[in-house]
């Protein structure tokens, strides 16, 4: 079944749903999607050659400021879920927005959509600051 992504070429990361992801209602617990959003974001950072070791060398990091998730359909044990992410905004100063879409592999249906607004912080002070040029360039908008 073909997947119906909201953008042409998101970065994707597969997740196999197992029993630890399931809640008392028999489907994936809502909290798991937040963890998976983080996992697909880290996977995307790795692809961009911007892993945490690079952030430490630069002295900067991204921290989540705001996250929204729309839960559309449930996922169940043994499903494979494909998480997709892409950068939709980067002000080249202090923040960027990363969007997400999670699709069930078996039928291509969208399970959740969401986004996180990230703020650049200085690792020494922990305070928000202007992002380095490496962040501005590497985390550029990629909705094509």
* Contact indicator for 105, 81 with CB cutoff of 8 Å: yes
HSE (CB half, 13 Å, CA atoms) of 30? 7
Domains detected in the chain: 11-138 (3.10.129.10)
Confidence (pLDDT) at 3: 67
Local confidence band at 116 (pLDDT 50, 70, 90 cut-offs): very high
Task: Answer whether 2's CB lies under 8 Å from 108's CB.
Answer: yes
Whole-number percent of the chain with pLDDT over 70: 97
* Residue 2 confidence (pLDDT) above 70: no
Which residues, at least 6 apart from 46, have a Cβ–Cβ distance to it below 8 Å?
Answer: none
Which tens digit of pLDDT belongs to each residue from 28-76? 999 999 999 999 999 999 999 999 999 999 999 999 999 999 999 999 9
Residues shown for the chain: 144
Spatial distance between the Cα atoms of 31 and 25, rounded to a whole number of angstroms: 13
What is the pLDDT confidence band of residue 144, given thresholds at 50, 70 and 90? low
């Amino acid at each position: 079944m073909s997947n119906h992504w909201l953008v042409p070429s998101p970065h994707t990361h597969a997740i196999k749903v197992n029993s630890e992801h399931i809640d008392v209602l028999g489907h994936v617990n809502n909290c798991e999607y937040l963890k998976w959003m983080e996992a697909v974001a880290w996977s995307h950072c790795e692809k961009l050659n911007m892993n945490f070791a690079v952030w430490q060398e630069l002295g900067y990091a991204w921290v989540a400021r705001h996250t929204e998730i729309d839960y559309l359909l449930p996922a169940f044990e043994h499903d494979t879920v494909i998480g997709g992410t892409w950068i939709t905004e980067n002000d080249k100063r202090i923040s960027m927005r990363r969007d997400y879409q999670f699709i069930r592999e078996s039928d291509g249906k969208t399970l959740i959509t969401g986004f996180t607004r990230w703020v650049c912080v200085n690792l020494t002070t922990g305070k928000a600051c202007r992002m380095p040029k490496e962040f501005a360039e590497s985390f550029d908008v990629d909705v094509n």
